[in-house]
Structures are given as structure tokens and as C-alpha cells.
């Protein structure tokens, strides 16, 4: 086996330990990851914008001896920018854009020792629960390339699940980090609102719904990374509640006997796909076997008023996104520069008045208080992450004749209300505990209390120990695939 293959089986913490001990250099880690990307990306289309020479230059300059010294990393092509490098947000409208500034998050990632190798694919502006934009084409799931990675952080999910890199950036405005984690068999933590800064360009985004973090193989990588990136930036509109101690200290700590609510029902009262409900039942049994109290209970307040308010905010968010980029680029998008779904959302968003938007925010803030009251009686709320297994590629796509087709088909795969964590600002996580008979991952989802990543990470580490998932490898994984051939050379 080659060094590139050997390293593909290690999480980011283990790779960094090799650099700290002197067994492997940062340059070797980076070159090994580049080799894996070049080997696997033609089949998966996960890395949309390679930045290999940028990464090698960073290593030659010298990487900081942070917790992830020399570890290769990929940025999702959405929100987070690096000065002087291409940045497209999955859109033909931005296909010639080069960033004029570096995001604070990137500065913190680099300070932690991470080396950015490129950008991963995303649907246009993160709008759909799949990665199939007109600009980048479809990203394929390493567990079966006929299937979607979900979205919108699907390119990052495919890159990590295939072993190209041990972890990769994702962001989440309504489940966009957690859905791909479930579809690709990864751990996906959505932090508390404002835990990670969005500056210098944004104070917050879409009423504080948008958050930044990563898709990881291990719980400890997620905790260590959040320790390295958390904390407000000067001028942020508000901070997240302070943490009692580093989150890495929570990994392996006894969670105690938790009280966990669960529900198999979507907001309309229907059950999800049988595979997703089976994964939930399995997670309930596992939590009970670990000594936790598990109680069936539906989340209160998820009524038609809340649903309508969510739609209003999403529509106005699309109008804001297009308006923001039109102002930044100095022009409006041309007739063929937006995907049909984005153009449809943009049209609807321009019909939302300022009063409509603020009334929706009022309704959603009232709902958030109801969720907070509910969680005074529970440590977490458990559901399936997705309401269906990953969809076949091509199913969640729109056409000019059917511009909302992707939204309608996509909604059937993401019917469980992961957006609640974005509305409330609460932390949440998708945990990869199950696979269906077809070999596709089926995640389960825990919503935590506001500011309480600690409890979620203690529980996640306990589940990881009880049901290890890291050694369960996708068929298209760098430890298994040589020379681009799943059968070997």
C-alpha cells in the first residue's frame, strides 16, 4: 500500500499526530491527499476547484503547529472566501469571480494548521438537497455513484466519505451540513448560532440561520475543529453562549443518564421511509441500552403558520442572495446564468414585502420559544436525519418547464424538520449509526439545547464507541480504490 492509501484510513487528529511526531511531513500529507483526489475525483466530482499549488505554497511557507498541523482540508464553494482565488457558489452567474478578501474562518483554519487544497461542489447558492448544479454537474455518492450525496454540502461529504481528506468544510442554513452527513455516512455537527463567525463580510446571515462547521469521520475531529474556530469576531452582532471548557474535553466524558425525546413522524404526521424509521428505532434501542431515558414525544408548535413563515424566509433569502451578488458584481444575472430553481425562488422572493418578512420572523421567534420550553424537559430530541434514503441522481433537478421540480422532489427526502435548529439557533448533529439493505447510509438526528454542544458531543462519543462507524468504508474509498478502478489495477 502507498502512503496516500495508508493515510486515507486515518482521521485528521491521527494525521496531525504523525506530523507532530515527525513521522510524516506536512508536505507528505498534502501530496498524499492530492494523489487521492486525482484518483477519485473523476468518478465522484466532489472537488470543483482544485487549489493544489496554493496548498503546496502554503506548506513551503510553513504551517502553524496547531492541532491539525499539515492536515489537508477542503472548503465548500459557498460563503467562505480566500483572497485572490476563484469563488463561484455553484453558479454560472459567478463563474468569473475571484475573491477580494479572506474570511475570518479561513484565518482560523489556517492558524489551526489546516492546508486548503481546493473547493468542493455545491448546488447553486446551496438551494437544493443535492449537488447537481449547471456549473459543476452531479456529485456522486461514494457508497453508490448512482445516488446523490444530498446537499448542499454534498461535495465535501463525498470527499470525506471517499477518504480524499479526513474532514471538510460545510455550512448549514436548513440542514445543508447534516443531510449530506446522513447520506454519506459521516458525523455532522451544526454548532450553536454565532459559535463560528461569518465575518468580515457578514455579521449573520438569514436571521442567524446560517452556521459554519465541517463534515468529519470522527467525533473528536469535530470537537477539536470547533475549539479552534469558535468565538466571536470583533463587531459581530451577538456571540454564542460561552463554553464551560474545550469541547474536546467532552469527547469521552460520561454524558450521564440523558432524557431523550424521539419521534418517527414528520411535521405533517406521516412516517418517513421504512429504512429511516428503522434507523430511528435502532437508535432509540441503542440509547436505551446505554442507560438513557427515551420518551416518544412530538416537537410542539410545528403548524401551518410556522411552515408558511419558513417559506417566506427562504424566498426572501434568495432575493437577498441574488441582490447581494448583483450589487457586488455590478450587474444582474443574465437569462441563462441561474438554475431554474434559483430563478423561481428569486421571483417569489421579490414579491415578499419587508412587513411579510418581519411577520414571518415574529412567528418563527415565537416557535423558537416553544422549542426552548420543550427542551427544558429533555436533553435532546431524536428523529431520522432524512425522510428517505439518498435519491438517485437526476431526481432532484429542475427544468425551465418545471422550475420547482427539485424543490418538490427534494422536500420528500428532507421532510424531518432539521431547519428547527437553524430557526432556534440550537446545536444539532447527524450521527451515522445505520445502513440499509442496499448499503446506503441512514443517519439519525439529535437536536440539542441552545448553547449546549457539550451534551451532544458527550452523547456522540458514547454512540461512536458503542457502534463504531469509522472503519465502515464506502466502495469508492481511497483505501479500496486504486488507479480509479474499484476492482484495483
Q: What is the pLDDT of residue 484?
A: 55
243-291 per-position pLDDT tens digit: 999 999 999 999 999 999 999 999 989 999 999 999 999 999 999 999 9
Catalytic annotation on 152?
A: yes
- Residue pair 366/152 in contact (Cβ under 8 Å)? The answer is no
Mean pLDDT of 95-114: 98
Flag whether 479 is in a domain.
no
Flag whether 477 is in a domain.
no
With cell 447510509, the residue in question is 441
Q: How many distinct structural domains can be found in the chain?
A: 1
Flag whether 485 is in a domain.
no
Q: How many CB atoms lie within 10 A of CB 444?
A: 28
Flag whether 277 is in a domain.
yes
Q: What is the pLDDT of residue 481?
A: 84
Q: What is the pLDDT of residue 485?
A: 56
End-to-end CA distance of the chain: 12
Flag whether 471 is in a domain.
no
The residue count of the chain comes to 489
Confidence of residue 482 (pLDDT cuts 50, 70, 90): confident
Please say if the pLDDT value at position 159 is more than 80.
Answer: yes
Which triple of cell numbers denotes residue 293?
431515558
pTM of the model as a whole: 0.97
Q: What is the pLDDT of residue 2?
A: 86
Catalytic annotation on 133?
A: no
Flag whether 440 is in a domain.
yes
The boundaries of the domain holding residue 23 are 3-466
Mean pLDDT of 209-238: 98
Flag whether 225 is in a domain.
yes
Percentage of the chain modeled with pLDDT above 70: 98
40-96 per-position pLDDT tens digit: 999 999 999 999 999 999 999 999 999 999 999 999 999 999 999 999 999 999 999
Q: What is the pLDDT of residue 52?
A: 98
The chain-wide mean pLDDT, for the chain, equals 97
339 closest CA partner among 175, 138, 158, 159: 138
Backbone angles phi, psi at 153, to 5 degrees: -90, 35
Q: What share of the chain is helix, strand, coil (3-state, %, to 5)?
A: 40, 15, 45
Q: Which of 148, 152, 222, 387 is catalytic?
A: 152
CATH number (domain holding residue 395): 3.90.1300.10
Catalytic annotation on 289?
A: no
Name every residue whose Cβ is closer than 8 Å to that of residue 387 and which is 6 or more positions away in sequence. Answer: 266, 272, 273, 276, 412, 413, 414, 415, 416
Distance CA 205, CA 237 (A): 11
177-201 per-position pLDDT tens digit: 999 999 999 999 999 999 999 999 9
With cell 455553484, the residue in question is 90
Q: Which of 153, 176, 218, 316 is catalytic?
A: 176
Flag whether 433 is in a domain.
yes
List, in sequence order, the alpha helices (H) in 231-353.
274-289, 304-329, 340-349
442 closest CA partner among 416, 410, 407, 405: 416
Distance CA 100, CA 49 (A): 17
Which triple of cell numbers denotes residue 67?
492541532
Amino acid at each position: 500500500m502507498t502512503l496516500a492509501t495508508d493515510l486515507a484510513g486515518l482521521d485528521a487528529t491521527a494525521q496531525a499526530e504523525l506530523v507532530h511526531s515527525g513521522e510524516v511531513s506536512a508536505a507528505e500529507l498534502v501530496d498524499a491527499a492530492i494523489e487521492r483526489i486525482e484518483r477519485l475525483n473523476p468518478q465522484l466530482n466532489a472537488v470543483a476547484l482544485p487549489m493544489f499549488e496554493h496548498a503546496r505554497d502554503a506548506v513551503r511557507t510553513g504551517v502553524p503547529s496547531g492541532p491539525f498541523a499539515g492536515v489537508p482540508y477542503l472548503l465548500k464553494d459557498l460563503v467562505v472566501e480566500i483572497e485572490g482565488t476563484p469563488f463561484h457558489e455553484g453558479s454560472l452567474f459567478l463563474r468569473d469571480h475571484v475573491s477580494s478578501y479572506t474570511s475570518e474562518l479561513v484565518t482560523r483554519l489556517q492558524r489551526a494548521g489546516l492546508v486548503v487544497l481546493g473547493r468542493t461542489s455545491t448546488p447553486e447558492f446551496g438551494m437544493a438537497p443535492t449537488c447537481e448544479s449547471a456549473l459543476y454537474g452531479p456529485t456522486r455518492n461514494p457508497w453508490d455513484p448512482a445516488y446523490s450525496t444530498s446537499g448542499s454540502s454534498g461535495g465535501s461529504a463525498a470527499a470525506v466519505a471517499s477518504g480524499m481528506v479526513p474532514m471538510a468544510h460545510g455550512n448549514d442554513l436548513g440542514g445543508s451540513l447534516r443531510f449530506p452527513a446522513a447520506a454519506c455516512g459521516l458525523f455532522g455537527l451544526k454548532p450553536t448560532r454565532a459559535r463560528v463567525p461569518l465575518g468580515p463580510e457578514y455579521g449573520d446571515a438569514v436571521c442567524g440561520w446560517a452556521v459554519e462547521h465541517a463534515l468529519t469521520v470522527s467525533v473528536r475531529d469535530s470537537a477539536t475543529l470547533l475549539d479552534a474556530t469558535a468565538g466571536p469576531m470583533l463587531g459581530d452582532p451577538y456571540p454564542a453562549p460561552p463554553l464551560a471548557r474545550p469541547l474536546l474535553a467532552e469527547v469521552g466524558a460520561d454524558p450521564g443518564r440523558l432524557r431523550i425525546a424521539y419521534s418517527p413522524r414528520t411535521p405533517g404526521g406521516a412516517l418517513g421511509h421504512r429504512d429511516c424509521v428503522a434507523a430511528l428505532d435502532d437508535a432509540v434501542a441503542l440509547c436505551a441500552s446505554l442507560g438513557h431515558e427515551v420518551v416518544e414525544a412530538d416537537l410542539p408548535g410545528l403548524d401551518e403558520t410556522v411552515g408558511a413563515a419558513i417559506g417566506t424566509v427562504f424566498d426572501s433569502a434568495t432575493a437577498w442572495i441574488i441582490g447581494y451578488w448583483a450589487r457586488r458584481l455590478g450587474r444582474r444575472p443574465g437569462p441563462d446564468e441561474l438554475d431554474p430553481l434559483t430563478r423561481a425562488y428569486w421571483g417569489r422572493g421579490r414579491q415578499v414585502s419587508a412587513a411579510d418578512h418581519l411577520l414571518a420572523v415574529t412567528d418563527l421567534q415565537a416557535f423558537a420559544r416553544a422549542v426552548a420550553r420543550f427542551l427544558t424537559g429533555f436533553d435532546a430530541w431524536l428523529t431520522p436525519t432524512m425522510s428517505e434514503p439518498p435519491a438517485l441522481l437526476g431526481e432532484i433537478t429542475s427544468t425551465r418547464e418545471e422550475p420547482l421540480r427539485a424543490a418538490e422532489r427534494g422536500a420528500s427526502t428532507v421532510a424531518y424538520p432539521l431547519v428547527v435548529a437553524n430557526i432556534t439557533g440550537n446545536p444539532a448533529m447527524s450521527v451515522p449509526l445505520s445502513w440499509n439493505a442496499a448499503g446506503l447510509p441512514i443517519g439519525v438526528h439529535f437536536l440539542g439545547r441552545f448553547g449546549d454542544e457539550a451534551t451532544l458531543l458527550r452523547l456522540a462519543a458514547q454512540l461512536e464507541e458503542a457502534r463504531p462507524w469509522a472503519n465502515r468504508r464506502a466502495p469508492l474509498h481511497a483505501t479500496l480504490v486504486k488507479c480509479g478502478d474499484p476492482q484495483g489495477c
